[in-house]
Amino acid sequence: MTEGQRRSPGGSSGRPGRPADAAGGHAGAGPGADQLGALLGRVARGDQDAYAAVYDRTAGRVLGLVLSIVRDPAQSEEVTQEVLLDVWRSASRFDAGLGSAAAWVMTLAHRRAVDRVRSEQKAAERERRAASSAVAYDEVAEAVEARLDRERVRRCLGSLTELQRESVTLAYYGGYTYREVAGLLGVAIGTVKTRMRDGLIRLRDCLGVDP
């Protein structure tokens, strides 16, 4: 990030400095901690020069903490940028009586990093649930057994192609596994699964079973 970008907290194009580049990276030590608190007081009053100084003192440590939690470098830089923007927006909330300025900044960083990890985990879980929502043989078979009688199933079986009917009948009535059905029909297991899936979808539609 250039000097001009640091002095414009509202900008979105700048990248936070890496730990080796951030001046005064050890923001929590000795008199520097008091100076950081004073700088935050000026930031709370809209002083962009003070913000640039706070940025230089904290960016490296913030990025290091965020990276240790998020792990992904690109996301860590995004989160670091969000944290430093939080510092600009909420500097007035810093209370020296509750702890050091460095600790306050690092608390913001930790909270943001944990939120990002949780958000990514929730997104992954939604994708997993979506991937597992496809029609499965066991789900359809259980629905058929619970709601419909055998005769209706036989009538709907007549609407299937011969290959679909063979696969479904062997598995549903005969209790054969995919591998056993494949051996009996002389086809690949993948072919059996495809026939079963297509046939069961047609059965579901014929029998009026909700997906």
Q: Residue 86 — φ and ψ, nearest 5°?
A: -60, -40
CATH 1.10.1200.10 for domain 3-131, yes or no, is no
Virtual torsion, Cα 129, 132, 135, 141, nearest 10 deg: -100
Q: Is the pLDDT of residue 179 over 70?
A: yes
Domain ranges of the chain: 3-131, 137-207
Q: Residue 164 — φ and ψ, nearest 5°?
A: -65, -45
Q: Give the model confidence (pLDDT) of 41-63 as tens digits.
A: 999 999 999 999 999 999 999 99
| Vertex 143 angle, CA 195 and 176, to 5° | 45
Q: Give pLDDT, residue 58.
A: 95
Q: Give the model confidence (pLDDT) of 72-120 as tens digits.
A: 999 999 999 999 999 999 999 999 999 999 999 999 999 999 999 999 9
Q: At what angle do helices 189-207 and 178-185 cross, to 10 degrees?
A: 110
Which residue type does 141 have?
Answer: A
Residue 43 contacts residue 86 (beta carbons within 8 Å): no
Q: What is the DSSP string of 129-167?
A: HHHTTS--HHHHHHHHHHH--HHHHHHHHTTS-HHHHHH
Nearest Cα to Cα of residue 16 among 46, 47, 49, 57: 57
Rounded CA-CA distance 16/30 in Å is 24
106-116 as b/e: b if 16+ CB within 10 A: bebbbebbeeb
Q: Comparing 3-131 with 137-207, is the CATH topology the same?
A: no
Rounded CA-CA distance 143/141 in Å is 5
Confidence of residue 204 (pLDDT cuts 50, 70, 90): confident
Q: Average pLDDT, whole number, for the chain?
A: 77
Task: Look at the domain 137-207 and name its fold.
Answer: Arc Repressor Mutant, subunit A (1.10.10)
Q: Give pLDDT, residue 6.
A: 46
